[in-house]
Chains A and B, each alone.
Chain A
Amino acid sequence: MLFFLAPLVLVGIHSFGQISLITFDMHFGWTLQNYRDIADPIYFKTLTRSLILSATTTGLCLLLGYPLAYFLSRLSVKWQRVGLLAIIVPFWASFVVRTYSLVNLLENGGPVDDIARKLQLVSGHIDFLYTSGSIAAGMVYSYLPLMILPIYVALERIDDNLLDAASDLGASGSSLFRRVILPLGTPGVVAGAVIVGISATGEYVIPEILGGGKTLMLGNVVADQFLNVGNYPFGSAIAMSLLALLILLLVVGRGLGAKGWEATPA
């Protein structure tokens, strides 16, 4: 607990401090100036962009991850293990190397471009790399396992007897999925969405590599303030604000989820 909280407290304390960008002496005058500076339109625009990309990534991960997790959960134990390994093993490789490998795949003249041209899907090149689309593709690729695994765990725990009972009572096809599987798998979906959403909102490596440095996200601003400018207080204030916003979204989301759950017909 200490290891989780101590850095957070340090960042929180720094966010109320001030630093001279000439001498780099830090003063803890408990000012709110760093938080006021965040109101600058540049950072608001950057925050909006981060949230949109994060929501897109989470949505796409859910769209791709749910069917995969469901399919995996219906396999025999042996094939489930094989499937899980196939999902996890690529992620033992370095994150940066995997991201750079996408550059080779997505660039003009790369395999994806070649296939698109051979299939006459595009007249020239795909021009996909260094766009918001390539960032989203990279984020989906990187975070998909984080969506699949919790959903798989939730779905895999569904007792087959429950499904049989539902069938005996007349539920089948879409009705079985909508009224039994979907509600029972919801905790996994929520966990996956939270993990992917939070990670994607603070992402800065993928936008830098696959966005060609042209798409500034809030994670990039925080990284820049810490690793380049040296303005720890401002970087900390952005990080704390993002944290507060995500907590707020989680609380609101949980409230809406609970209402939706209550409203679900039995």
Chain B
Amino acid sequence: MGDGEFQLPGTRAGARMGRRLSRRELLSRGARLSAGAGAAWLLAACSNGNSSGSNSGSAAPSGSGSSAANLSGTAVLTTYPGWMGKNEISSFEDANPGASVKMTGSSSGATGSEVLFFKQNAGQYDFSLEDQSGVGQLIAGGILQEPDWSKIPNISNVDDPFRKAYSHGTPTDYGKVGIGFRSDIVKEGITSWADVWNLAPKYSGQIIFLNLDRDCMGSALKYLGLSGNTKDPAQIERCKQALIDIKPHLQAVTGTGVSRGLVKGTAAIAMDWDYDIALAKEQEPRIEWVLPEEGVVAYLEGYVLIKGGQHLDVATAFMDWNVKPDQYADFVNTTGTAYVSSKATPLIEKSISKNPILFPSPEVLAKVEYENYLGEATALWNKAWDEFKSA
């Protein structure tokens, strides 16, 4: 009943959609995205049940990203709804008459099902917003198209650490998973993941965790002093047990409106993304952000090309366009995300560029571990996550 309208929890899309959007816009966009994704899956399932070898691959992207004369057609991008600079696409189309970019919601976002989605819809999508884990998944699935870097000269505007960490496409943004808490409720203060687990009985029913396995289990692994990318079954088991131990004290495990409880005062502590807490703090100054002592996991996202896309040249040109400082500043100012190109800083609103939640010191940044592709260990993570949810 109404399933097609539902934005699947467990993705960052729900929270992203709320970024600088009214609640009405959020719900409307969510409904459109998920309805579209549901319909697309159904059509794909009906048209191509056997995905084996469905993607024959394609040649490297042709055309010039910097030459408007050679570009024509519409490149289709899968990304979060609204996750784009306000004028970015229109200015790209003005600069490249005949070329355009169409944004569409992906199957679910950086997950295994996305590989199937692209395989079953071969040739219909040109590029996609993916985190590093998603990139690894696309590579393993044989559907990632390496870009022709000579067509992306503006990649030099991206800061080296991000460029090196995200080597198969153009990075766009990153986000850390830390702790938000209400300083007027949690008088003891919080500095670590251990504090969250230790204080859980006292604040039972007032704690919210993220409903995304990589972020939630990754944070639990940090609490245990382990890598957020572990493939060790014993460590995954310990992580699952730590989550099951704290579960009776959790108010909710959610992927949408995570900080809402902190703003309203119905929650005291939340595992949350940095940008969500930054937004919440604007509404409720008593919310504090903590980058825990044990370290945090983080996602690093960007655009990558999808093998077999019909307009990879247009997609490549747009990837280059996105990392031009003025266009990238539009992207950051619209989305309010932590950014990856310091060359764009002069053009970025100070409320973002000077925000300590989004931009911690280099010492603190050293504690950040990006979420990588887990390969065969993905199945172990899935199982552990199901066991935690079912407990």
By a beta-carbon cutoff of 8 Å, the part of chain A in contact with chain B is 6-7, 10, 13-14, 21-28, 42, 45-46, 94-97, 100, 107-109, 127, 130, 142-143, 199, 203-205, 208, 212-214, 216, 220-221, 223-224, 226-232
Q: Are B8 and A46 in contact, CB atoms less than 8 angstroms apart?
A: no
Contact of A22 with B375 at beta-carbon distance under 8 Å, contacts A95-B1, A228-B112 already known: yes
Which of A94, A97, A109, A214 lies in contact with B389, CB distance below 8 A? A214
Query: How many whole Å from A260's CB to the nearest CB in chain B?
Result: 30
Q: Are A23 and B50 in contact, CB atoms less than 8 angstroms apart?
A: no
Task: List residues of B (241-258) whose CB comes within 8 Å of A's CBs.
Answer: 247, 250-255
23 A-B pairs with C-beta separation under 8 A: A7-B45, A10-B46, A21-B379, A24-B116, A24-B119, A46-B390, A94-B5, A96-B7, A107-B264, A109-B265, A212-B251, A213-B9, A213-B252, A213-B254, A214-B253, A216-B389, A221-B386, A227-B41, A228-B10, A228-B112, A230-B116, A231-B112, A232-B116
Chain A residues with CB under 8 Å of B362's CB are none
Contact of A107 with B8 at beta-carbon distance under 8 Å, contacts A6-B46, A21-B378, A230-B116 already known: no
20 additional contacts (CB under 8 A) given A21-B378, A97-B27, A214-B250: A7-B42, A10-B45, A22-B141, A23-B141, A23-B142, A24-B112, A24-B116, A27-B52, A95-B5, A95-B6, A96-B5, A96-B30, A203-B1, A213-B254, A214-B389, A221-B386, A226-B41, A227-B107, A228-B108, A229-B111
Q: Quick check: is B161 within 8 A (CB to CB) of the other chain?
A: no
Query: How many whole Å from B379's CB to the nearest CB in chain A?
Result: 6
Q: Which residue of B lies closest to A110 (CB)?
A: B266
Q: Which residue of A lies closest to B387 (CB)?
A: A42
Q: Are B375 and A94 in contact, CB atoms less than 8 angstroms apart?
A: no
Chain B residues with CB under 8 Å of A13's CB are 49
Contact of A213 with B255 at beta-carbon distance under 8 Å, contacts A45-B390, A227-B8 already known: yes
Residue among A108, A224, A226, A228 with most chain B CB within 10 A? A228
Q: Which residue of B lies closest to A223 (CB)?
A: B8
Residue among B107, B205, B252 with most chain A CB within 10 A? B252
Chain A residues with CB under 8 Å of B51's CB are 24-26
Chain B residues with CB under 8 Å of A223's CB are 3, 8
Chain A residues with CB under 8 Å of B349's CB are none
Chain A residues with CB under 8 Å of B9's CB are 208, 213
User: Which 7 pairs of residues, A with B, have the shortest CB-CB distance?
Assistant: A95-B2, A212-B252, A230-B112, A230-B113, A213-B253, A216-B389, A24-B115
Query: Given the complex of chains A and B, what is the CA–CA distance between A183 and B5 in angstroms?
Result: 39
Query: How many whole Å from B252's CB to the nearest CB in chain A?
Result: 3
Query: How many whole Å from B318's CB to the nearest CB in chain A?
Result: 26
Query: Given the complex of chains A and B, what is the CA–CA distance between A46 and B51 in angstroms?
Result: 30
Chain A residues with CB under 8 Å of B46's CB are 6-7, 10
Chain B residues with CB under 8 Å of A208's CB are 6, 9
Q: Are A212 and B140 in contact, CB atoms less than 8 angstroms apart?
A: no
Q: Are A214 and B247 in contact, CB atoms less than 8 angstroms apart?
A: yes
Q: Quick check: is B114 within 8 A (CB to CB) of the other chain?
A: yes
Chain A residues with CB under 8 Å of B2's CB are 94-96, 205
Contact of A24 with B205 at beta-carbon distance under 8 Å, contacts A216-B386, A230-B112, A232-B116 already known: no
Chain B residues with CB under 8 Å of A28's CB are 50
Q: Quick check: is B167 within 8 A (CB to CB) of the other chain?
A: no
Q: Which residue of B lies closest to A45 (CB)?
A: B390
Chain B residues with CB under 8 Å of A229's CB are 111-113, 382
Q: Which residue of A lies closest to B27 (CB)?
A: A97
Chain A residues with CB under 8 Å of B368's CB are none
Chain A residues with CB under 8 Å of B266's CB are 107-109
Chain B residues with CB under 8 Å of A109's CB are 264-266
Query: How many whole Å from B284's CB to the nearest CB in chain A?
Result: 14
Q: Are B252 and A94 in contact, CB atoms less than 8 angstroms apart?
A: no
Query: Given the complex of chains A and B, what is the CA–CA distance between A204 and B389 in angstroms?
Result: 13
Task: List residues of B (8-42) whose CB comes within 8 Å of A's CBs.
Answer: 8-10, 27, 30-31, 37, 41-42
Which of B1, B8, B31 lies in contact with A142, CB distance below 8 A? B1
Q: Which residue of A lies closest to B209 (CB)?
A: A213
Chain A residues with CB under 8 Å of B5's CB are 94-96
Chain A residues with CB under 8 Å of B382's CB are 229
Encode contact with A along B48-63: 1 for CB under 8 Å, 0 otherwise. 0111110000000000
Q: Are A205 and B116 in contact, CB atoms less than 8 angstroms apart?
A: no
Query: How many whole Å from A96's CB to the nearest CB in chain B?
Result: 5
Query: How many whole Å from A88's CB to the nearest CB in chain B?
Result: 14
Chain A residues with CB under 8 Å of B142's CB are 23
Query: How many whole Å from B24's CB to the nearest CB in chain A?
Result: 10
Q: Quick check: is B337 within 8 A (CB to CB) of the other chain?
A: no
Contact of A213 with B251 at beta-carbon distance under 8 Å, contacts A22-B376, A26-B52, A95-B2 already known: no
Query: Given the complex of chains A and B, what is the CA–CA distance between A28 and B52 in angstroms?
Result: 10
Residue among A13, A21, A204 with most chain B CB within 10 A? A21
Residue among A26, A28, A109, A143 with most chain B CB within 10 A? A26
